Amino acid sequence: MSVASIEVCETPLVLYTLRRADDALILGHRLSEWCGHAPMLEEDMALANMGLDLLGQARELYGYAAKVEGRSNDEDRFAYLRDVRQYRNLLLVEQPNGDFARTMVRQFFYAVFADLYWRGMMRSSDTTMAAIAARSEKESAYHVRHSSEWIVRLGDGTEESHRRAQAAIDDLWAYTGEMFAVDDSERGLIDRGIAIDPAALRAPWLKTIAAVVGEATLALPGNDWMQKGGRDGRHSEHLGHLLSELQSMQRSFPGATW
Amino acid sequence: MATPNSPLWEVFIRSRNGLAHKHVGSLHAADATLALQAARDIYTRRGEGLSIWVVPSNAITASDPSEKDMMFEPAQSKIYRHPTFYDVPDEVGHM
């Protein structure tokens, strides 16, 4: 790493936008890791498509964060020149792909949330966020459909696919609480109608999750203890490895283009 | 990538301007629902379509290529079957 990280002036709206942008970038990057490795060609394309949807969302959000911040940062600098502790994504999205069941469970947990979230954000008083939400919601709705169909087939499939899907649910469950958390910085935006209160999304999220998991003959864990820290830059050990790959080109060859 | 457990499906897309679904290719999928999703992901990612059909490949009854002479040759010499020997009145318009 030969290039210094940027400094970001994290006003509430910049921080808020970066958090959502980081969710999309990191999950999109995780999906891109499947490229050429998926169980079948058809699913390889599906995963890449979803990854590109998320990358597109990340670009819009980084662009808006840069505009709001009003300094010299842009989407590339946000993505390539921030260190682990400056990333604000959910711990859920940085978790490794693992097997196909684990990737799909992670996608399912996130997509169901994201769809509810973007649908709510279409009514944001911030017109840029509302526009990004309107576009993203259509994409996340499909991610919900695709991942939930797979959850049902993995859970209600073979003994092995059931076991793997259940293990993924059990392992990733503790990372789902962070999606519904609110801190002081976001509270102000919620009060002004710029952001929606994610706590209100927990009940409908759980309803969809429980319905699909039930249909899949799988079970939700009973434990309610939840991991947190991603929103404040306290990440699992996996994000550093991901970023070293994602950022290696720009860190080694600053400003390289092609 | 061998997918021995996944049946083959034929994909038909109706494009933005098209009136009929056209065959665009095939794919492997475990069932009809996943076949439809795979078709969406593979064959409509550049805005090609507004409607998709997927059909199990084994539901198609095909003519035998070795019988093509018997099947299709007799039609080649019957040009009078083409409606090209009539003057279409202008009033008829587009046919």
Q: Residue A24: what pLDDT?
A: 98
Residues of A in contact with B27 (CB under 8 A): 41-42
What average pLDDT does range A99-111 have in this prediction? 98
pLDDT at B77 (0 to 100): 84
Q: What is the pLDDT of residue A240?
A: 97
Instruction: Using pLDDT thresholds of 50, 70 and 90, give the confidence band for residue B43.
Output: very high
- A149 touching B (Cβ < 8 Å): yes
Q: What is the mean pLDDT of residues A14-32?
A: 98
The encoded tokens of residue B4 equal 């021995």
Test the A interface: residue of B6, B28, B37 with most A CBs within 10 Å: B37
Q: Residue A124: what are its φ and ψ, rounded to 5°?
A: -60, 145
Q: What is the mean pLDDT of residues A40-57?
A: 96
Q: Is the pLDDT assigned to residue A2 strictly greater than 90? A: no
Q: What contacts 24+ positions apart, CB below 8 Å, involve B4-8? A: B5/B30, B6/A40, B6/B30, B7/B56, B7/B57, B7/B58, B8/B56, B8/B57, B8/B58
Band of pLDDT at residue B93, cut at 50, 70 and 90: confident
Is 0.95 topped by the overall pTM?
Answer: no
| pLDDT score at A3 | 82
Taking a contact as any Cβ pair under 8 Å apart, which residues of chain A between 105 and 144 contact chain B? 142
Q: What is the largest CA-CA distance in chain A?
A: 55
The chain A residue lying nearest B44, using CA atoms, is: A49
Helix (H, G, I), strand (E, B) or coil at B57: helix
* In chain A, % of residues over pLDDT 70: 99
CA-based nearest distance B17→chain A, Å: 23
Among all residues of chain B, which has the CA nearest to that of A37?
B1
Helix axes A100-121, A127-155, angle to 10 degrees: 150
pLDDT (average), residues A65-72: 96
Mean pLDDT for A225-246 is 97
Q: What is the pLDDT of residue B1?
A: 47
**Mean pLDDT of the A180-187 span:** 96
Looking at residue A1, what is its pLDDT? 47
Distance from CA of B74 to the nearest CA of A (A): 42
What's the confidence (pLDDT) of residue A255?
84
Q: What is the 8-class DSSP label of residue B74?
A: H
Amino acid letter for position A243: L
pLDDT of B4 strictly over 80: no
Considering chain A, what is the average pLDDT of its residues?
96
Q: Kindly list the residues from chain B whose CB atom is less than 8 angstroms away from the CB atom of residue A142.
A: 40
Query: Among partner residues A41, A45, A149, which is closest to B33 by beta-carbon distance?
Result: A149
What is the side-by-side order of every strand in the sheet holding B22-28? B22-28, B8-14, B51-56
Partners of residue A45 in chain B, C-beta under 8 Å: 38, 41-42, 45
Res A139: pLDDT: 97
Cβ–Cβ below 8 Å for B41 and A40: no
Q: Please give the average per-residue pLDDT across B39-62, as a whole number.
A: 93
- Cα angle A229, A103, A210; round to 5: 80
Q: Which residues pair with B27 in a beta bridge?
A: B9
| Strands, E assignment, chain B | 8-14, 22-28, 51-56
**What is the pLDDT confidence band of residue A258, given thresholds at 50, 70 and 90?**
confident
Considering CB atoms only, which of A39, A45, A153 is closest to B41? A45
Tokens of B90: 């202008």
What pLDDT score does A91 carry? 98
Distance CA A209, CA A101 (A): 15
DSSP chain A: --SPPP-----HHHHHHHHHHHHHHHHHHHHHTTTTTSSSHHHHHHHHHHHHHHHHHHHHHHHHHHHHHTSS--HHHHHHS--GGG----HHHHS---SHHHHHHHHHHHHHHHHHHHHHHTT-SSHHHHHHHHHHHHHHHHHHHHHHHHHHHHHTS-HHHHHHHHHHHHHHGGGSGGGG---HHHHHHHHTTSS--GGGGHHHHHHHHHHHHHHTT----S-------GGGT---THHHHHHHHHHHHHHHSTT---
Average pLDDT over residues B30-55: 93
Question: What integer is the mean pLDDT of B74-82?
Answer: 83
* Of A123-132, A148-157, B38-47, B72-81, minimum mean pLDDT range: B72-81
| Percent of chain A clearing pLDDT 90 (strictly above) | 95
Q: Which of A52-66, A125-139, A191-205, B17-31 has the lowest mean pLDDT?
A: B17-31
Higher pLDDT, B3 or A174: A174
Q: How far is the C-alpha of B62 from the C-alpha of B8, rounded, in Å?
A: 15
